[in-house]
């Protein structure tokens, strides 16, 4: 009984300890050579840097484009590649960028004497700058500039942001900057997205935040066939969404693309000592904007090389390495996407297979059952490779619940065939990784388990120009490891793949994780195998449970695991527990509802320097991983569930501690065996009171499990005994989970307290620590009634969402104020912090009940000694309780439900309803309102009176969309600079007409009750905010509250300017907050991204196709016209 | 473990009406938390005091950031920082500009100056309105006053347009501005029986009938000031009391018309001349700012109090004023009938409104 698994063998292989000391770099700003590769045709070497953004980039000596793995020369000698950028014979000027500055409003008072501002605007792109006239003495200037035209090449178009600076003219001294707007014009570069950017943008200043707004119109004319200009990758679409975007069809999913660019961080440059922090932060914003553009272009090139046309699941991150530089890296999945233009053509084709799939599990007669067993599904693997720099490869745990047994008879041959074909399809790829988390039906065949790898690196303090590829090598190493782990699990691919870093001083932990999987080759190559294999695959693996079936060759098991026959189809083997990083497949059959499960952990670490520090961290990591896993497993059992989706483990490194936070969504998969309970085993059985205590705890645990089963409606159908009874010979039926510290526990008393015949997990209580742990298990409070939460896209078991959503970000920084902190007190503090935060969220959102917090994303940072920062972004969605009840009562479904029947349409392949009139026109909801706006601008007094209530008036005003609809009463103001004063006597200024259009934001890839009709482009923004008057701005909370609100506002403004009304797959990737209360200062960096879209309510959609298509004029051009 | 930093920001700004109320009433975060606790939110939601504190602080911060925008409500509609649905915006504005009538009553006719603001402590003590709330409301009055002071056209409509207030509230603000502008005396003891609503109704009648806007929409002067020419013309009406014949004829016309219709006919006959003199002279004095201040005092002292002591019923007064206003039409040689009726329309409306205990 009970597979005794002691602590896994964490044999840390420390290799490559030599720390390289690169030669001194003579020129301080030369930095890494890989900065930017520039077109040589740009007139002059631009020694002062392009766009002011990169004075420290080696613009003259454009580094050759890197061929890191292509075998070509990696780093051309600096300076030698002067003409390197032109290796493909590029021509200049394939495009013209046109910018018009229309007006400003609510500008700050810059001249105290007159309480007014003499504003003008600088428009800068590349190294060309235009200026508007000064509009004197107004806080609402009307520049109405000419079209500023920039003749640029497409590479520039992709890399550079458009920089708009609003300044106050000063005759006697230097002009004061009011603020800036950066506009990423990338969305204008591919035909299907936006054609014009037009609207009010907040004017942003790193010190003062938002200071008024500016109305700008931007257009791009592209001249040539862009394919001839291979340096650019215009036309490649980028999506943050980690599934195939709605209204597209995946023709081919090519696979992994990655790239990184490195530069010096302006914050840490010598010049910083003589310039203001403001200038430094602006330089940083500019630089990162530029680097993001470059990175995106380079990724795009790779996609084109793979003959794809899009990147899905694009994830771009910044590593602020401090003195050693700034790394911008991105990963994504290259695809060839087809815009769904004709619904009818795709409806039958896509619909039928999915329907078949849904029904197929029922067709299969149940075969032999098997006994459920439990094991500790941990696989230890060690991997390390030599690197030039100091690095410790951390032994990795593969979280899986799979193991061996004999395969189902029918499955065998197909599996082999399948494996061969998939293999051939994937072998060509260096890394068969996919950043997707949701897949087209039939794409994902089997899931092995979570694979992850971590590595501790010391950041090299001095850039070595001869080693520009260090960061690349680091990641390549980790990816190799992931790949080999996947192989060990019998999988050829890794899905739900992501990478992250945690940096503290000079130590950096690189992490990668994903889910080992077997994929259907039909999506991976150009239509070769379409049809032939498909049929059989579907037969072989019923989709409701097929992904749970082990992909593994059971006879070659590298680690012990326990298998049973699938509880759904009875043909294939399944593990007892399944951990994955992906979303719950739509076809999965689940019982009851899911819930958010978190494992939280702190470990103290001695303060140390350099290598000693890295070594101690890498020694701690395996234990942390193990404990995180243990916690997850225990909490999963405590909820009576058997699978985790969306698992994300974050290990954060601080000065004197490490923190681990794992989040996942637990569910009960019908295909997997019922989990056993948890049992506690005491160490000192002779002590009577102790025994009593143990049994008391046991009772509490049992009660909790029962309560949870009720709460999450987990009532799996009882299986007849004979089906379960058929045994696979297994010596032990129960596993014991040991804590990592309890290696010394040699003498163990086994208590058989298992309820009924169910196998149970044994928790051994061998010391007070363990007791604490058991207690902490029980401290997780379930959400209040009416609330559910998950960290996946959809909540398993809830399928009747209403359109009401609320996206939010909450940030907390807490001081762990213990004088002598122990791991236990820290754990408790951390646990309380997370639980209180959740509680607070539930309270805040109580008016939305019944509702579900979806995509709950926790990020932990350790900004300073004793300070823990937690940032949460999630969306609350209200659901219809009555419908939910009905659905549950449906007799046929009983308690077995698909993950989400309603959302299937939205999450699956884009099957339906991109009906003709919608997809063929650039539909914009703004259009109608805009038409309305023209008639409402300056609502006449008479009409005003007729408004029944004043609320209607306000609504009417609110409807008057702001896009371009500038007030029409400007003639007077323009005529006289004194207009403002004069106006007061004239009449009420009618400036209240243009209001703001609503932009929804959500971390999900869909909007409930709505159809996304168009993707307008990626939003990827980086902001820095600083203050030197922290107290005056309401302290740290006031400062950050305002900043986050400003970031939201700027995202919304950009989306609205693109003509969109929502951001999907929104994510706050970074929130770095630093304070110095003594100096009354604080600073924060925030990086967000998402996809700008146009959505239409389903209710409106039903009416739309009736309208003749002629009713939708080009909204884009009209918007521009209205403004004039 | 203490939370140094704790923020929650929604894409749609969360507005808790209860907390907004507490904030508007000028409670500190601690007071607000205490009040919410007494409201039983803890029991209902099963949460902790810490959560309540964090929630209250979040809302307070939001309101503080919104306050700047609420000072110019059209900006609230235009701003990009907070995404708030229109009906919520309306609620925010309405609640922010709503005021305590007791406070407004105290401040009616006072100069909205720093000096007055300093006296708010006493006002707060008298009215029971929190001092912070008093200051906020005072600032609202002052802000509205400053904004519309020099604008032409109907006052209430201007206010409604500039501050997006509901019509009734805008009319009340118009009254406050009107009183502040003309500096009518309202604080005298004998005026204490009059409520804010009474004065607001009077202000509306005065503006409605007397202001330039009432005659020509494209008037040159703001509504808050009564048109000078009109006030000047009112002197012409003195003939009604100065000319003995006219006065006698006027009296006989009114008395005969009311015979048997009112219960206080004898008293009317006895007091007619005094009443008529008072009614006409109130208007005649309005050209001097000092006398304007006494407008309501005069009405009460010389008309309302005598009538009240003679136990006129409101119906009696109404009938009297109707006939009193109409009668000069039949007076030979009286050429100011239009002016007279315009004048009396407002005076009658005011008197009828003010004639209560």
- Checking if the pLDDT of A321 tops 60, the result is yes
- Checking if the pLDDT of A370 tops 80, the result is no
Share of chain A above pLDDT 70, in %: 60
Output A257 or A1103, whichever has higher pLDDT: A257
Q: Are residues B109 and B192 in the same domain?
A: yes
Chain B residues whose CB is inside 8 A of the A994 CB are 78
The answer to whether residue B92 sits within a structural domain is no
pLDDT (mean) for A1050-1066: 94
Chain B residues whose CB is inside 8 A of the A817 CB are 1-2
Among left, alpha and beta (phi > 0; psi -120 to 50; other), residue A49 is: left
Q: Output the pTM of the full model.
A: 0.79
- Sheet containing A761-765: order of strands: A678-682, A761-765, A736-737
Q: Three-class SS of residue A147?
A: coil
Check CB contact under 8 Å for B1 and A832: yes
Q: Smallest CA–CA separation between B11 and chain A, in Å?
A: 5
First to last CA, chain B: 62
- Is A941's Cβ below 8 Å from some Cβ in B? yes
pLDDT tier for residue B201 given thresholds of 50, 70 and 90: very high
- Sheet containing A1010-1027: order of strands: A1000-1001, A1062-1076, A1081-1097, A1010-1027
**Cα–Cα distance measured from residue A400 to residue A1046, given in angstroms and rounded to the nearest whole number:** 42
A836 vs B5, B50, B57: nearest CB: B50
pLDDT (mean) for A425-437: 77
Q: Are residues B262 and B215 in the same domain?
A: no
* Helices and strands of chain B, counted as H and E runs: 23, 1
**Cα–Cα distance measured from residue A672 to residue A374, given in angstroms and rounded to the nearest whole number:** 11
Integer Rg of chain B from CA? 25
Check CB contact under 8 Å for B5 and A950: no
Using the 3D structure, point to which of B219, B246, B261 is the last residue of a domain.
Answer: B219
**Cα–Cα distance measured from residue A466 to residue A488, given in angstroms and rounded to the nearest whole number:** 36
- Checking if the pLDDT of A662 tops 50, the result is yes
Share of chain A above pLDDT 90, in %: 24
pLDDT (mean) for A399-419: 38
pLDDT at A684: 60
Q: Smallest CA–CA separation between A810 and chain B, in Å?
A: 4
pLDDT (mean) for A625-633: 88
Output B32 or B228, whichever has higher pLDDT: B32
**Cα–Cα distance measured from residue A1085 to residue A548, given in angstroms and rounded to the nearest whole number:** 41
Check CB contact under 8 Å for B47 and A839: yes
Instruction: For A125-151, write each residue's pLDDT tens digit.
Output: 988 999 999 999 899 999 999 999 998
Chain A residues whose CB is inside 8 A of the B98 CB are none
Q: Smallest CA–CA separation between A739 and chain B, in Å?
A: 27
pLDDT at A306: 86
Q: Three-class SS of residue A318?
A: strand
pLDDT at A89: 38
**Cα–Cα distance measured from residue A653 to residue A659, given in angstroms and rounded to the nearest whole number:** 7
Check CB contact under 8 Å for A991 and B74: yes
Q: Are residues B265 and B317 in the same domain?
A: yes
Instruction: For A1000-1015, write each residue's pLDDT tens digit.
Output: 999 999 999 899 988 9
Q: Are residues B53 and B120 in the same domain?
A: no
pLDDT (mean) for B315-344: 87
- Checking if the pLDDT of A485 tops 90, the result is no
Q: Which residues 4-63 of chain A have a CB within 8 Å of chain B?
A: none
Instruction: For A707-727, write each residue's pLDDT tens digit.
Output: 888 888 888 776 554 444 444
The answer to whether residue B336 sits within a structural domain is yes
pLDDT (mean) for A877-886: 70
Q: Are residues B198 and B310 in the same domain?
A: no
Using the 3D structure, point to which of B219, B246, B267 is the last residue of a domain.
Answer: B219
- Checking if the pLDDT of A954 tops 60, the result is no
* Strongest mean pLDDT among A215-229, A231-245, B28-42: B28-42
Using the 3D structure, point to which of B82, B114, B133 is the last residue of a domain.
Answer: B82
A994 vs B6, B78, B152: nearest CB: B78
Give the domain range for residue B47.
17-82
Check CB contact under 8 Å for B47 and A962: no
**Cα–Cα distance measured from residue A650 to residue B58, given in angstroms and rounded to the nearest whole number:** 28
Q: Are residues B176 and B268 in the same domain?
A: no
Check CB contact under 8 Å for A1040 and B5: yes
Check CB contact under 8 Å for A846 and B64: no
Check CB contact under 8 Å for A784 and B86: no
Chain A residues whose CB is inside 8 A of the B3 CB are 812-814, 833
Q: Are residues B196 and B235 in the same domain?
A: no
The answer to whether residue B7 sits within a structural domain is no
Q: Are residues B192 and B211 in the same domain?
A: yes
Domain total of chain B: 3
pLDDT (mean) for A331-340: 89
pLDDT tier for residue A192 given thresholds of 50, 70 and 90: low
The answer to whether residue B301 sits within a structural domain is yes
Q: Smallest CA–CA separation between A51 and chain B, in Å?
A: 28
Q: What is the DSSP letter of B282?
A: H
Q: Are residues B295 and B318 in the same domain?
A: yes
pLDDT at A171: 77
Lowest-confidence region among A68-72, A228-232, A411-415, B276-280: A68-72
Lowest-confidence region among A375-384, A395-404, A927-936, A1033-1042: A375-384
**Cα–Cα distance measured from residue A39 to residue A575, given in angstroms and rounded to the nearest whole number:** 55
pLDDT at A205: 93
pLDDT at A201: 95
- Checking if the pLDDT of A936 tops 80, the result is no
pLDDT (mean) for A541-561: 69
Name the average pLDDT for chain A: 69
The answer to whether residue B95 sits within a structural domain is no
Q: Which residue of A has its CA nearest to B162?
A: A988
pLDDT at B39: 85
* Strongest mean pLDDT among A407-416, A511-520, A1049-1058, B38-47: A1049-1058
pLDDT at A70: 34
Q: Give yes or no for a contact between A747 and A11, defined as CB atoms under 8 angstroms apart.
A: no
- Is A819's Cβ below 8 Å from some Cβ in B? no
Q: Are residues B186 and B248 in the same domain?
A: no
**Cα–Cα distance measured from residue B6 to residue A856, given in angstroms and rounded to the nearest whole number:** 17
Q: Smallest CA–CA separation between A674 and chain B, in Å?
A: 32
Nearest partner of A159 among A101, A231, A94, A89, judged by Cα:
A231
How crowded is residue A80: how many other Cβ atoms within 10 Å of its Cβ? 11
- Checking if the pLDDT of A683 tops 70, the result is no
Lowest-confidence region among A153-167, A213-227, A616-630, B139-153: A213-227
The answer to whether residue B64 sits within a structural domain is yes
Model-level ipTM above the cut of 0.85: yes
* Beta pairing, strands B2-10 & A1062-1076: unpaired
Share of chain B above pLDDT 70, in %: 96
- Checking if the pLDDT of A970 tops 50, the result is no
Output B337 or A727, whichever has higher pLDDT: B337
- Checking if the pLDDT of A91 tops 70, the result is no
Q: Which residue of B has its CA nearest to A1049?
A: B81
Q: Which residue of B has its CA nearest to A844?
A: B55
pLDDT at A457: 87
Crossing angle of helices A610-638/A768-779, nearest 10°?
60
Q: Are residues B273 and B168 in the same domain?
A: no
Residue A24, Cβ density class (10 Å: 0-12 exposed, 13-18 middle, ≥19 buried): exposed
The answer to whether residue B10 sits within a structural domain is no
Q: Smallest CA–CA separation between B156 and chain A, in Å?
A: 12
The answer to whether residue B163 sits within a structural domain is yes
Q: Are residues B246 and B323 in the same domain?
A: yes
pLDDT at A330: 93
């Amino acid at each position: 009984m009970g597979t005794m698994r002691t602590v896994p063998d964490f044999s840390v292989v420390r290799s490559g300890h030599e720390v390289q000391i690169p030669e001194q770099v003579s020129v301080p700003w030369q930095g890494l050579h890989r900065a930017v590769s520039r077109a040589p045709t740009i007139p002059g070497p631009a020694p002062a840097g392009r766009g002011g953004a990169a004075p420290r980039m080696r613009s003259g000596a454009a580094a050759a484009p890197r061929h890191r793995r292509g075998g070509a020369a990696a780093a051309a000698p600096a300076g030698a590649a002067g003409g390197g950028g032109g290796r493909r014979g590029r021509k200049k000027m394939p495009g013209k960028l046109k910018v018009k500055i229309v007006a400003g409003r609510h500008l700050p008072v810059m001249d105290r004497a007159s309480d007014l501002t003499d504003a003008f605007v600088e428009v800068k792109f590349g190294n060309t700058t235009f200026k508007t006239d000064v509009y004197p003495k107004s806080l609402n200037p009307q520049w109405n500039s000419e079209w500023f035209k920039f003749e640029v090449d497409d590479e520039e178009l992709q890399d550079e942001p458009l920089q708009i600076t609003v300044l106050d003219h000063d005759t006697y001294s230097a002009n004061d900057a009011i603020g800036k707007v950066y506009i990423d014009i990338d969305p204008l570069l591919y035909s299907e997205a936006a054609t014009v950017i037009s609207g009010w943008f907040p004017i942003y200043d790193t010190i003062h935040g938002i200071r008024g707004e500016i109305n700008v119109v931007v257009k791009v004319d592209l001249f040539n066939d862009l394919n001839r200009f291979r340096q650019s990758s215009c036309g490649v679409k980028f999506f943050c969404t980690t599934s195939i975007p709605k209204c597209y069809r995946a023709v081919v999913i090519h696979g992994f693309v990655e790239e990184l660019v490195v530069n010096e961080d302006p914050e840490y440059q010598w010049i910083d000592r003589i310039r203001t922090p403001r200038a430094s932060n602006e330089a940083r914003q500019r630089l990162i904007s530029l680097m993001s553009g470059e990175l995106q272009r380079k990724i795009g090139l790779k996609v084109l090389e793979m003959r794809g046309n899009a990147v899905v699941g694009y994830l771009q991150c910044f590593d602020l390495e401090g003195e050693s530089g700034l790394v911008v890296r991105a990963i994504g999945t290259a695809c060839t996407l087809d815009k769904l233009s004709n619904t009818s053509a795709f409806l039958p084709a896509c619909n039928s297979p999915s329907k078949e799939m849904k029904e197929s599990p029922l067709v299969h007669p149940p075969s032999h059952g098997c006994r459920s067993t439990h094991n500790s599904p941990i696989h230890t693997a060690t991997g390390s490779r030599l690197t030039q720099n100091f690095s410790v490869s951390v032994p990795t745990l593969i979280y899986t619940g799979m193991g061996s047994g004999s395969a189902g008879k029918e499955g065998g041959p197909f599996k082999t065939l399948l494996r061969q074909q998939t293999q051939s399809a994937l072998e060509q790829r260096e890394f068969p990784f996919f950043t997707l988390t949701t897949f087209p039906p039939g794409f994902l065949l089997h899931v092995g388990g979570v694979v992850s790898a971590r590595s501790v690196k010391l950041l090299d303090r001095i850039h070595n120009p001869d080693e520009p590829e260090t960061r690349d090598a680091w990641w390549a190493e980790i990816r190799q490891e992931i790949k080999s782990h996947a192989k060990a699990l019998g999988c050829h691919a890794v899905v739900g793949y992501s990478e992250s870093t945690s940096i503290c001083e000079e130590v950096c932990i690189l992490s990668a994780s994903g889910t080992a999987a077997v994929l259907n080759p039909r999506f991976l190559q150009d239509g070769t195998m379409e049809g032939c294999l498909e049929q059989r695959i579907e037969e072989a693996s019923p989709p409701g449970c097929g992904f749970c079936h082990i992909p593994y060759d059971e006879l070659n098991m590298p680690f012990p695991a326990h298998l049973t026959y699938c509880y759904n189809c009875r043909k294939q083997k399944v593990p007892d527990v399944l951990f994955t990083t992906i979303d719950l497949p739509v076809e999965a059959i689940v019982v009851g509802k899911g819930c958010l499960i978190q494992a939280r952990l702190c470990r103290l670490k001695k303060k140390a320097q350099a290598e000693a520090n890295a070594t101690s961290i890498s020694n701690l990591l395996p234990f942390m991983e193990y404990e995180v896993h243990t916690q997850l497993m225990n909490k999963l059992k405590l909820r009576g569930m058997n699978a985790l989706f969306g698992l994300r483990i974050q290990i954060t490194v601080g000065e004197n501690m490490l923190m681990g936070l794992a989040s996942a969504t637990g569910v009960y998969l019908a295909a997997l065996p019922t989990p056993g309970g948890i049992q506690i085993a005491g160490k000192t059985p002779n002590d009577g009171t102790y025994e009593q205590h143990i049994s008391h705890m046991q009772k509490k645990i049992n009660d909790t499990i029962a309560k949870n089963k009720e709460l999450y409606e987990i009532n799996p159908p009882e299986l007849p005994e004979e089906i379960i009874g058929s045994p696979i010979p297994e010596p032990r039926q129960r596993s014991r989970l040991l804590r990592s510290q309890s290696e010394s526990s040699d003498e163990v008393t086994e208590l058989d307290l298992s309820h009924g015949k169910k196998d149970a997990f044994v928790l051994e209580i061998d010391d007070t620590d363990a007791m604490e742990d058991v207690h902490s298990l029980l401290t997780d409070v379930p959400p209040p009634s009416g609330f559910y939460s998950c960290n996946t896209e959809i909540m398993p078991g809830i399928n009747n969402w209403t359109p009401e959503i609320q996206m939010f970000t909450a940030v907390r920084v807490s001081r762990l104020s213990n004088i002598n902190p122990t791991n236990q007190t820290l754990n408790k503090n951390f646990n309380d912090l997370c639980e209180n935060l959740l509680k607070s969220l539930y309270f805040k959102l109580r008016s939305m009940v019944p509702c579900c917090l979806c995509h709950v994303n926790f990020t932990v940072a350790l900004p300073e000694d004793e300070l823990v920062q937690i940032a949460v972004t999630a969306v609350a969605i209200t659901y219809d309780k009555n419908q939910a009840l009905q659905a549950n009562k449906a007799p046929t479904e009983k308690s077995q439900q698909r993950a989400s029947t309603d959302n299937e349409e939205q999450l699956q392949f884009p099957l339906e309803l991109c009906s003709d009139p919608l997809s063929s026109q650039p539909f914009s909801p703004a259009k109608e309102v805009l038409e309305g706006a023209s008639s409402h601008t300056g609502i006449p007094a008479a009409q005003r009176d007729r408004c029944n209530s004043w609320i209607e008036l306000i609504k009417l005003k609110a409807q008057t969309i702001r896009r371009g609809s500038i007030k029409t009463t400007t003639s007077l103001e323009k005529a006289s600079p004194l207009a403002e004063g004069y106006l007061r006597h004239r009449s009420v200024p009618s400036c209240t007409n243009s209001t703001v259009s609503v932009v929804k934001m959500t971390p999900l890839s869909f909007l409930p009750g709505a159809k996304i009709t168009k993707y307008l482009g990626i939003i990827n923004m980086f902001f820095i905010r600083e203050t030197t008057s922290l107290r005056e701005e309401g302290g740290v909370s006031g400062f950050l509250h305002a900043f986050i609100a400003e970031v939201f506002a700027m995202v919304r403004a950009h989306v609205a300017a693109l003509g969109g009304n929502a951001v999907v797959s929104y994510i706050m990737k970074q929130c770095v907050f630093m304070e110095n209360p003594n100096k009354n200062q604080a600073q924060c960096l925030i990086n967000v991204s998402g996809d700008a879209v146009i959505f239409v309510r389903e209710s409106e959609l039903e009416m739309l196709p009736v309208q003749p298509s002629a009713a939708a004029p080009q909204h884009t051009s009209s918007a521009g016209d209205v403004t004039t | 473990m203490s939370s140094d930093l704790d923020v929650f920001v929604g894409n749609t700004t969360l507005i808790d009406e209860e907390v907004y109320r507490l904030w508007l009433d000028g409670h500190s975060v601690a007071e607000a938390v205490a009040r919410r606790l007494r409201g039983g939110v803890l029991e209902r939601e099963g949460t902790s005091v810490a959560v309540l504190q964090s929630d209250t602080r979040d809302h307070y911060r939001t309101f503080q950031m919104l306050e700047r925008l609420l000072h110019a409500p059209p900006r609230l509609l235009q701003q990009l920082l907070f995404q708030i649905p229109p009906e919520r915006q309306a609620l925010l504005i309405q609640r922010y500009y709503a005021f305590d009538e007791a406070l407004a009553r105290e401040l009616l006719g006072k100069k909205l100056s720093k000096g007055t603001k300093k006296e708010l402590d006493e006002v707060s003590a008298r009215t029971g309105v929190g001092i912070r709330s008093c200051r906020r409301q005072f600032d609202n009055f002052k802000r509205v006053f400053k904004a519309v002071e020099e604008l032409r056209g109907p006052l209430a409509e201007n206010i409604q347009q500039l501050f997006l207030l509901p019509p009734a509230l805008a009319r009340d603000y118009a009254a406050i501005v009107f009183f502040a502008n003309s500096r009518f005396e309202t604080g005298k003891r004998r005026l204490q029986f009059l409520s804010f609503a009474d004065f607001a109704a009077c202000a509306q009648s005065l503006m409605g009938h007397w202001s330039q806007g009432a005659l020509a929409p494209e008037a040159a002067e703001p509504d808050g000031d009564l048109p000078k020419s009109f006030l000047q013309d009112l002197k012409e009406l003195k003939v009604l009391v100065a000319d003995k014949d006219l006065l006698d004829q006027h009296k006989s016309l009114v008395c005969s018309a009311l015979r048997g219709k009112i219960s206080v006919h004898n008293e009317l006959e006895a007091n007619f001349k005094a009443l008529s003199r008072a009614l006409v002279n109130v208007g005649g004095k309005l050209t001097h700012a000092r006398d304007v201040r006494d407008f309501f005092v005069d009405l009460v002292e010389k008309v309302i109090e005598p009538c009240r002591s003679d136990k006129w019923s409101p119906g009696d007064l109404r009938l009297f004023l109707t006939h009193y206003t109409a009668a000069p039409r039949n007076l030979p040689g009286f050429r100011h009938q239009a002016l007279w009726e315009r004048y009396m329309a407002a005076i009658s409306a005011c008197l009828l409104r003010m004639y209560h205990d």
